[in-house]
Amino acid sequence: MTTERPIILVALSDHTMRQVAGRLLVRKGYEVRLASTGARALALLERALVVAAIVDSVLPDMHGLDLLHAIGAAHPGMPMIMVQGSPDIRAVIASRERGAKEYLTGRLVPSALGAAVERALGRQRPTVVLKVPAAAALDALVFAMEAKDPHLAGHSIHVAELAASIATHIGRRDWEVEEVRLAGRLHDIGMIAISDGILTKPGKLSVEEFAEVKRHPVLGHQLLVAYPSMERVASYVRGHHERWDGKGYPDGLIGEAIPWGARILAAAETFDALTTSRSYRSAASVVDALERMHLTSAEAVDPVVMRALQSVVCRRQTLEFIRDDENRDVEAAMFAGHAGADEHYVRVVS
């Protein structure tokens, strides 16, 4: 008795990539339908019982996001995989919003594609791997975000080093210090998806504009949680605007329900923001910044973290944490996880 094999749709604009992907999937026991355009892909979906779709980010006749939307509308719940040349936070978020379960980036590697299909179909334990170059890609996104506003230049590094100093002061282990340092470096990465007009606007934001800015912790979390060994870092990024009294965002967490790393980032970011000039105000002195924070610390900041911040700043301990090449090795190792030599992909968590 012959059992029909599951059918995978491969909609890739590049002929060679299409053929390579098709041959790989056939060897893995699937039937394959190949399409070079979005229209062809949709036509094939009407004629075959497809179980999953692999979609190029750019096709000759439509954007890959539009094809994801069309497939999702016609076939709700179908596992979809987006293929893109380079990692981009906007693309990751947009793909996820349109139903993509996987996001493959860089050169299309057979092992990565095969594993992505298996995970999308629920046949493999969800693991996420991204090669070391992703660290540089994320750094590039941070630099691009800070370049939008001259007042943000260096902000992420300042927060990272101050947060690492605070973590050390309160007795966290070395690997925890490095995680909170990395979270500090990436804490505002979600800002890359916020419009330039809002980020560079002089003066007070409107209610609608501020609501848009408040999305950045969630956007950053959505990107980072897809990386190996980044769950805690992602949670710190998501929670860095939570308040001790529960009046923060995005989740309104109270007290120790806020991840410890997020509590440290919140204090470090507030201090750096107060001591850095903005388009609408001048920088406060260290003494004034600490005094302002002290007046509201019972409501906004973890008291233990506040005391550590005061000690660190007064003793100038942040000078001990100036980054060097060795720190980059630690950061890169966190991104690498247990990557195989040929794996270059990131999963979009559903």
Would you call 240 exposed, middle or buried from its count of C-beta atoms within 10 A (0-12, 13-18, 19+)?
buried
Q: Give the model's pLDDT for residue 130.
A: 42
Locus of tokens 């349109």:
98
How many CA atoms within 13 Å lie on the side-chain side of 191? 24
Pairing of strands 50-56, 7-11: parallel
Residue with more model confidence, 143 or 307: 307
**Of all helices (H) and strands (E), which one includes residue 102?**
strand 100-105
Q: What percent of the chain has pLDDT over 70?
A: 76
Report the distance separating Cα 24 and Cα 17, nearest Å: 11
Residue with more model confidence, 56 or 334: 56
Distances (CA, A) of 303 to 130, 256, 299, 324: 37, 11, 9, 31
The per-residue pLDDT for range 45-64, each reduced to its tens digit, is 999 899 999 999 999 999 99
CA-based radius of gyration for the chain? 23
Task: State the chain's mean pLDDT as an integer.
Answer: 79
Query: All domains of the chain, ordered by start, with CATH?
Result: 7-126 (3.40.50.2300), 133-336 (1.10.3210.10)
Q: Give the model's pLDDT for residue 317.
A: 41
pLDDT at 328 over 70: no
The per-residue pLDDT for range 200-220, each reduced to its tens digit, is 787 788 899 999 999 999 999
Q: Give the model's pLDDT for residue 325.
A: 42
The per-residue pLDDT for range 93-110, each reduced to its tens digit, is 778 788 888 777 666 666
Longest dimension (CA), the chain: 81
Q: Give the model's pLDDT for residue 27.
A: 87
Find out whether 163 and 270 touch, Cβ atoms under 8 Å: no
Distances (CA, A) of 120 to 51, 53, 86, 217: 10, 10, 21, 26
Q: Give the model's pLDDT for residue 245.
A: 94
Residue with more model confidence, 214 or 174: 214
pLDDT at 199 over 80: no
Q: What is the pTM of this model?
A: 0.58
